[in-house]
Amino acid sequence: MGPYHAVVVHFPIALLTTATLVIALRAFSDGALARSTDRALVPLLALGVLSGAAAFAIGLMVWPLEAIFSSPLGRNHILAAAWTLAYWALLLATRWIQGPAVWDGFTRWVMLGLAILGGLLLAITGALGGHLMGTPTAASEGLRLLGWEIYTTYYVPDTTLALIAAAVLVLLALGWWGRRARAAV
């Protein structure tokens, strides 16, 4: 099953990376090209999430669960893959439910920030998976600088917790500010 997972996993990587680029283009532009690519965003996200779910399911069949859960690297990869899949599914739901209104005002920058964060989660998940398959990447050095030794650590590093806490505060403040701005109009 390992080769199947290695093939299938490239579909969500490509689709979600393209979705990140579409979101970046749309956040910075209201032009015809940006609007055209935005029309493809929901299908891109949907296909990315569906292929990500397929890759996740096949990945669970690569090794016995007892073996993969006994390794911190394996647990980190499964955890990162679950976070990434859930994150992109929520971003899909946000764009689908809100429609083009996500590009009005400040929310376009929130969408850009969310896309960048999703891209980072995707990169981390891929880097961990590459290590499991015996093809380590330079991304692991970046993770080590953040305090995450991928071969031995099974926890969320303090730096990451601090970033999550900061992101929560920023998102709450943005939501509060946006609600006040809408009420004033």
Q: What is the CATH number of domain 2-154?
A: 1.20.120
Residue 106 is predicted with a pLDDT of 87
Residues in the chain: 185
With a cut of 50, list the residues of the chain below it in pLDDT.
Answer: none
Nearest to residue 43, comparing CAs of 94, 85, 115, 92? 92
Residue 157 is predicted with a pLDDT of 61
Domain ranges within the chain, ordered by starting residue: 2-154
CB 165 within 8 A of CB 157: no
Could you give the CA distance from residue 9 to residue 159 in angstroms, rounded to a whole number?
A: 28
24-75 pLDDT tens trace: 999 999 999 999 999 999 999 999 999 999 999 998 888 788 888 888 888 8
Could you give the CA distance from residue 87 to residue 147 in angstroms, rounded to a whole number?
A: 23
Residue 153 is predicted with a pLDDT of 66
